[in-house]
């Protein structure tokens, strides 16, 4: 089913690149039974289903750091242990607009999923959007449509979703790919205790164009043209225009969010860690730490790349995924958990 009544939403943003239009035009709504209701859940489905293991792409999600909420115009980066805890990126399947066509060309059965509470699902009757609800909804989607073990790909904070899901539903996940993984944050931290009126004020700021423009500029390694950064910003906030987005985001924020650091060692699936060599948002030291803590993982860095390898260097990311999936032999960890570049 095509996304209904959204043309006005899509056309209010000027989309410059064909890859954006391709993915937008490919978004479908699929019925997923969740709790006592049916939810029309948005995703990009593969052109055809194959015998090989399907590739399922998650997305990052909107999150902001501790900030002076009483001065809503002021947001600062909270730096803890060299990790920036502010991310304002895409939070929808459109995050994969560059890499998705390349993955399909490489022969993968590729799905791009919008997690409950983000993206373009129809949430007129808003369900709970806490971590357990997001996990259960994704499982129901997998059980209804994908139906077999998958290679699960999670970028940035989407890596926390991937780890949480792989540990709770190991039968559904064959391998993991974690890109610029943000997995050491302690949920939403103090934001979970904010009064709801204050939380809504922060959410309104979260979808502002100036703030998103700055963070998109900061996330890239090289200085992108103004038009490119503006386009990233417009596409990245498109889902924020959904009428239920504010309520879903506040519900997630006040529920405590994802905190997966304590379960990293429980991941049994073979994992590929991809990192941008010049990531200015997540320290490379955390990439090595993650490599050490995962029982069965390899790590690869992409040169001249920041926090968004699948957006900045999609060809590199796709090649690494192809190599990881098709490799006939296991690649052992390097001694002392040192990353291989």
* 279 in catalytic set: yes
**DSSP label at residue 39:** E
264 or 65, greater pLDDT = 264
Would you say residue 334 has pLDDT above 60? no
Token couple for 124: 């007129």
Catalytic residue among 137, 239, 307, 310: 307
Would you state the pLDDT for residue 307? 87
Domains of the chain: 7-61+89-185+258-337 (3.40.50.1820)
Would you state the pLDDT for residue 111? 94
How much of the chain exceeds pLDDT 70, in percent?
A: 70
164 or 21, greater pLDDT = 164
User: What are the Cα distances from residue 85, in Å, to 239, 240, 285?
Assistant: 21, 20, 15
> Tokens 């879903």 appear where?
248
Would you say residue 173 has pLDDT above 90? yes
pLDDT (tens digit per residue) in 286-333: 999 999 999 999 999 999 898 889 988 999 999 999 999 987 655 555
Catalytic residue among 62, 114, 130, 279: 279
Would you say residue 340 has pLDDT above 60? no
Residue 183, judged by CB atoms within 10 A of its CB (0-12, 13-18, 19+), counts as: buried
- For residue 222, what are the contacts with CB-CB under 8 A and spacing of at least 6? 304, 306
pTM above 0.95, yes or no: no
Pairwise CA distance, residues 69 & 81, whole Å: 23
* 247 in catalytic set: no
Pairwise CA distance, residues 239 & 97, whole Å: 14
Mean pLDDT of 45-66: 77
- For residue 284, what are the contacts with CB-CB under 8 A and spacing of at least 6? 275, 277, 301, 339
How much of the chain exceeds pLDDT 90, in percent?
A: 36
Would you say residue 89 has pLDDT above 60? no
pLDDT (tens digit per residue) in 176-200: 999 999 999 887 666 667 777 887 8
Token couple for 221: 């390694």
Token couple for 33: 């039974």
* 310 in catalytic set: no
Mean pLDDT of 49-55: 89
> Tokens 């909420």 appear where?
69
pLDDT (tens digit per residue) in 215-261: 666 656 666 677 666 666 766 677 777 777 788 888 888 888 889 99
Would you state the pLDDT for residue 297? 97
Would you say residue 138 has pLDDT above 90? yes
Catalytic residue among 19, 133, 156, 159: 156
Pairwise CA distance, residues 85 & 64, whole Å: 7
DSSP assignments along 133-180, one per residue: HHHHHHHHHIIIII-S-EEEEEETTHHHHHHHHHHH-GGGEEEEEEES
């Amino acid at each position: 089913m095509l996304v209904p009544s959204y043309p006005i939403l899509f056309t209010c943003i000027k989309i410059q690149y064909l890859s954006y239009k391709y993915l937008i035009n490919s978004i479908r709504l699929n019925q997923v039974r969740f709790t006592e209701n049916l939810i029309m859940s948005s995703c990009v489905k593969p052109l055809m289903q194959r015998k090989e293991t399907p590739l399922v792409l998650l997305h990052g999600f909107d999150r902001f750091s501790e900030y002076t909420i009483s001065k809503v115009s002021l947001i600062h980066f909270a730096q803890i242990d060299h990790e920036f805890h502010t991310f304002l990126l895409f939070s929808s399947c459109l995050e994969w607009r560059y890499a998705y066509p390349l993955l399909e060309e490489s022969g993968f059965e590729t799905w791009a999923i919008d997690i409950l509470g983000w993206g373009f699902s129809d949430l007129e009757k808003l369900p709970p959007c806490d971590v357990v609800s997001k996990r259960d909804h994704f499982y129901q989607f997998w059980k209804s449509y994908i139906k077999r073990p998958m290679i699960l790909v999670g970028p940035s904070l989407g890596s926390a979703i991937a780890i949480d899901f792989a540990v709770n539903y190991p039968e559904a996940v064959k391998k993991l790919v974690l890109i610029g993984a943000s997995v050491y944050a302690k949920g939403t931290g103090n934001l979970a205790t904010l009064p709801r009126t204050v939380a809504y004020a922060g959410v309104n700021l979260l979808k502002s164009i100036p703030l998103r423009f700055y963070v998109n500029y900061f996330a890239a390694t090289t200085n992108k043209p103004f038009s490119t950064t503006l386009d990233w910003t417009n596409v990245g906030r498109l889902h924020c225009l959904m009428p239920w987005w504010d309520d879903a985001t506040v519900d997630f924020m006040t529920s405590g969010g994802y905190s997966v650091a304590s379960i990293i060692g429980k991941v049994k699936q073979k994992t590929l860690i991809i990192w941008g060599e010049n990531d200015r948002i997540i320290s490379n030291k955390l990439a090595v730490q993650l490599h050490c803590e995962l029982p069965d993982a390899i790590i690869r860095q992409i040169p001249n790349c920041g926090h968004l390898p699948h957006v900045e260097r999609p060809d590199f990311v796709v090649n690494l995924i192809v190599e990881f999936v098709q490799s006939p032999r296991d690649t052992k960890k390097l001694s002392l958990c040192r990353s291989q570049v």
